[in-house]
Chain A
Amino acid sequence: MNTRYATMILLVGAVALAGCKTKAPDVLPPSSTETPAPVVTETVQPSGPSLGSQAHFEDAVHGQNVIYFDTDRYNIDTPDAAALQTQAQYLARYPSINITVEGHCDERGTRDYNLALGERRANAAKNYLVSLGVDASRIRTVSYGKERPIALGSTQRAWAENRRAVTVVIS
């Protein structure tokens, strides 16, 4: 799912990034059913995701590349802070990595307001990362308002999953 988001970001960002050398989005590690059994066992290469890929980042932060918000709120609570700390550690370890923080809202808000609220959420995450020592120039923000839900129902649970800020590796 998140790899797809990364792909979408890369696609929509392609215009702006046209002057940069961009890496093709990595794919998930091949599943065991599709991978033929290795015949040669001498040269074992780790088949994990490569540095610079969204999968590499998500593995490293144990899936904590997404933080969640209460209705109409954008404050960073304790679980959010812990997630952002793991993200900051990753970014400290790999200083060549830049990120986009996407701000999202649930469907139970009006269009314009949700765009502004998503921007506020993305910036809250960004500001927290910056407070942890990540250079602000490495973090781009974008709001998708209520335009890109990840949970599709119209339930409290779905809305809670959609009120989120997603960190995506862009280079």
Chain B
Amino acid sequence: MRSIWTILLAFGLAAPLMAQDLGDAPPPVIDVETVEEEVGLTGSVTDDSDWEDLGIAIASFATDRNVSTPANANGTAALGREISRVVFSDLRNNGLFKPVGPDSLPRPTFQQITDPNWPSWTNRRAEMLVHGYVRTRGDGRLTVGCYLYDVALRDELARAGWVVPPGDWRRAAHKCADLVYSRLSGEDPFLDSRIAYIAETGPKDNRVKRLAIMDSDGANHRFITTGRSTALTPRYSPDYRQLLYLSYVDGNPRIYVYDIGTGRQTLVTQSTNPTFAPRWSPDGKWILYSMAVSGNTDIYRVSASGGPSVRLTNTPGIDIGGSYSPDGRRIVFESDRSGSQQIYVMDANGDNQRRLSFFGGRAATPEWSPRGDQIAFTHIAGNFRIAVMSPRGGGLRHLTNSWQDEGPTWAPNGRILQFFRTSRNSGTTALWQVDLTGRNERKLPTPVDASDPAWGPILP
């Protein structure tokens, strides 16, 4: 029995056996080509302290002539309106601005995209104006242009253009929203990105948990696994080509590397021990995972291209998780070596381990901000709350206060966090988002219950 088990693990797991819980492979990420415009950035926001309250008008994107496109059954004119709606939703839903959308605004002509009808916008008390256009190219792809104007100055603040396949038209809209957000806030973009998470259905004692992916606004939703076996804790690779996640597909909790292009997956390590809590290094070259040997869990590092694993922790307690600093030199992780879950930091090779959290209660699931200036975690003291602290362990701030919020994941720009919220008694779960002020909290739309969000970086 044991020997058969071993043989199966040694030879069987690499290939088709593993495919049994996988649905159709999603399409790989395609690079978006940025069109170089002749005019660079001009003007400036002299006072950005109240930028969140700016009146931004987002008008329908125009087209030079209405032609058919696979992106919209009604042609490029209708597509232009759809693109502007996505830009509007992006900026509104994230609580960043209070924009006015295309459905309540006049529709500019193609010529007005580069020469706005200023009096019309001044009369509407718009302070900022977003215009754009969409055109089909000879090769079937779309060119989308995006312009941000300061209405009072009657001046252009930013412009950019992108060439996308028709199926990726929403990405152009996200890039336009990112351009507006970045130009007005001074922050890095984050909207053109994706989220991996676990979709949950069924009663509390028999939950079906499927690996799923979606765009940052919930569009282009896809299930990766069929739900036949429990899937947990996904993480997108920095290049979006692979997903790490935990699956019970062989009856044991193990970490798999799922290749999005081929739809195939392999075990992160051939060891027969259970593995948990997979993480990528920021450059995608390393994978952290946690492995239990005779009940004792430690953190290991392995090259993303394979090879031997190196154990980074060596204590009798549970050492688990791990999140790299953006420069890849340090790892923040969770350990109960002191008697309860607390947050520790170490060098990337495992040296200099020391405790960071001294707040009372327990501290779990640390995630280093992509900006490097904060560590988000789950603070357990009565309620489970999303909190942040500095990388030296100071400056504790709670961002949420609900019965059970856990598992924060950072937006690519380190300004917003997602997490999942579990309801008392019912056990239902949902993805939520909160910004670093703690003021803008909202539930994300998902087709079914959702947990374990993992926000990827800005798309290539």
The chain A residues found within 8 Å of chain B, CB to CB, are 9, 12-16, 18-20, 72, 74, 98, 107-108, 110-113, 115-117, 119-120, 122-124, 126-127, 137, 141-143, 145, 147-150, 152-154, 171
CA distance A147 to B232 in the complex (A): 10
Q: Please determine whether A12 and B365 come into contact, CB atoms closer than 8 angstroms.
A: no
Residues in B1-20 with C-beta less than 8 Å from chain A = 1-2, 4-5, 7-9, 17, 20
Extra A-B contacts (13), CB below 8 Å, given A112-B276, A116-B320, A120-B318: A15-B20, A20-B1, A98-B1, A110-B384, A111-B406, A112-B233, A115-B276, A116-B276, A137-B2, A147-B230, A148-B205, A154-B427, A171-B1
- CA–CA, A122 to B297, complex, Å? 13
Say whether B205 contacts A111, CB under 8 Å: no
Q: How far is the CB of A103 from chain B (nearest CB, A)?
A: 9
Pairs across A and B, CB under 8 Å, 9 listed: A15-B8, A16-B5, A110-B384, A111-B407, A112-B276, A112-B277, A112-B320, A143-B292, A152-B204
Contact, CB under 8 Å: B404 / A108: yes
> Are B274 and A15 within 8 A (Cβ)?
no
Q: Cβ of B384: which chain A residues have Cβ within 8 Å of it?
A: 108, 110
Contacts A12-B248, A113-B318 given: A152-B8 contact, CB under 8 Å?
Answer: no
With A12-B229, A12-B248, A120-B292 as contacts: A112 and B365 at CB distance below 8 Å: yes
Q: Are B250 and A15 in contact (CB under 8 A)?
A: yes
State in angstroms the CA–CA spacing of A110 and B338 once bound together.
17
A143 touches B365 (CB 8 A): no
Q: A119 is contacted by which of B209, B297, B378, B425 (Cβ under 8 Å)?
A: B297
Residues in A with CB closer than 8 Å to B124 are: none
Counting residue pairs across A and B whose Cβ atoms lie within 8 Å, the total is 121
Residues of B within 8 A of A108 (CB): 384, 404
Query: Could you tell me the distance between the alpha carbons of A142 and B233 in the complex, rounded to whole angstroms?
Result: 17
Chain A contacts for B7, CB-based, 8 A:
19
Q: Smallest distance from the beta carbon of A100 to chain B beta carbons, Å?
A: 9
B427 touches A152 (CB 8 A): yes
A9 vs B229: C-alpha distance when bound (angstroms): 11
| Known contacts A112-B276, A115-B253, A147-B230, A122 near B295 by CB under 8 Å | yes
B318 A152 Cβ-Cβ under 8 A: no
* Contact indicator B318/A143 (Cβ below 8 Å): no
Instruction: Determine if B251 is an interface residue (Cβ-Cβ < 8 Å).
Output: yes
The contact of B205 among A18, A116, A149, by CB within 8 Å, is A149
B252: contacting residue among A20, A74, A126, A142, CB under 8 A: A142
A46 to B393 CA separation, bound complex (whole angstroms): 66
Partner of B318 from the list A98, A116, A137 (CB cut-off 8 Å) is A116
Scoring A112, A124, A145 by chain B CB atoms within 10 A of each residue's CB, the highest score goes to: A112
- Which one of A12, A112, A126, A148 contacts B321 once the chains associate, using CB atoms below 8 Å? A112
B213 within 8 A of A: no
